[in-house]
Amino acid sequence: MNKTQKHSAEAVAHARLAARAAELSWIHIWAELTQDPEKIAATLATDAPIAWALAIPSAAAGGAYRFLEGTSIDGVRNQYEGLRSQLEIHGWEPIIEVRGSWYTMWSGVSNIKTVSTGSIAKGQTAVLFPVGGDGILGELQIGVVGRYPDGTAPRDDGKVPVRRLGALHEHEDYLQSLRRGDVDAVMSAWRDDAALAIRDYNYDESKLLNVGGAEQIREYFTKLFDRYKVIDIQIVNRVIDTWFLFAELYWIVEDRKTGRKFDFCTADLTSLDEDRKYWVGTGAGTDPIESDGTLAAAPSRGKEAFA
């Protein structure tokens, strides 16, 4: 097989994995439309750890958004039982769709029925479905955080998309802060009352980190950079909207204690407040794979090409 054939084969292999990830995600959506928590939970993978999260206002946090969570099939089923007593989903229309080899990300519109009144209204959200071998590994949702109380999103309809360009520039700065392991700079992007539900890379096994408030988020990144030196971070996929951003990142890191090097990917949804501060973030990640630390591409030049 020559180099061109090899690249073509790799493209097809990726496409087949992406198609399977989307299929598993749609199997879950069709189960959601039955309103049956048992059928919904049956779409979860049985071959890997589960992580489910949804951002909602928390009375315990003074009204700040915090994440509901489920980390087992029973736990996720219980969450759906509670949600379906209040809301039902009667349709899903994805407007933005990113099909990765190990996840599907959608931003789209649901038909939502309020059980107590019977009324049905459309609402937009963004969601991430990481997948395993026989089902989704969970549903990670920012809900409506970043949208206004009336359901609309910040507008960006001038001659150029100023708000989204600002979010792009700030995300490039954020990536540089991650590459440097600069906790103070990382935290400057987040609100004081932010919430985070992501894979915790301070553990070898897959584990959901679910924290609220800047102090706890700072603690996570401090521990992460104490454990790993970041060799490089590259963008795999990125979507920037007026109220959220999505980024799949490819990390190369070095364990500071052992010197061993690892590669892994993360995929995260992050909502933006009026000032484009990061409000809530949720996502998933692949298992670290030991590597030689070789860069996949030249280091990012950040905003050098920006106007």
Residue ranges covered by each domain of the chain: 3-291
Mean pLDDT of 213-226: 98
- 213-230 as b/e: b if 16+ CB within 10 A: beeebbebbeebbeebee
Global pTM reads 0.96
pLDDT at 2: 86
* Local structure of 228: helix, strand or coil: strand
- Name the residue among 236, 238, 231, 237 with its Cα closest to residue 263: 231
Q: For 278-296, what is each residue's pLDDT tens digit? A: 999 999 999 999 999 999 9
Question: In angstroms, rounded to a whole number, what is the distance separating the alpha carbons of residues 101 and 98?
Answer: 10
Quote the CA–CA distance of 186 and 176 in Å, as a whole number: 9
Confidence of residue 104 (pLDDT cuts 50, 70, 90): very high
CA dist 25 → 122, 140, 190, 219, 256 (Å): 20, 12, 30, 33, 37
Beta bridge partners, 240, equal 245
Residue (of 161, 301, 181) closest to 245 by Cα position: 161
- Whether the CB-CB separation of 236 and 252 falls below 8 Å is answered with no
User: What is the topology classification, in CATH, of domain 3-291?
Assistant: Nuclear Transport Factor 2; Chain: A, (3.10.450)
Per-residue pLDDT tens digits for 151-167: 999 999 899 999 999 99
Distances (CA, A) of 154 to 65, 111, 126, 302: 19, 21, 15, 26
pLDDT digits (tens, 9 = 90+) for 6-27: 999 999 999 999 999 999 999 9
Distance CA 45, CA 58 (A): 29
The rounded mean pLDDT for the chain is 97
CA angle 57, 277, 56 (to 5 degrees): 10
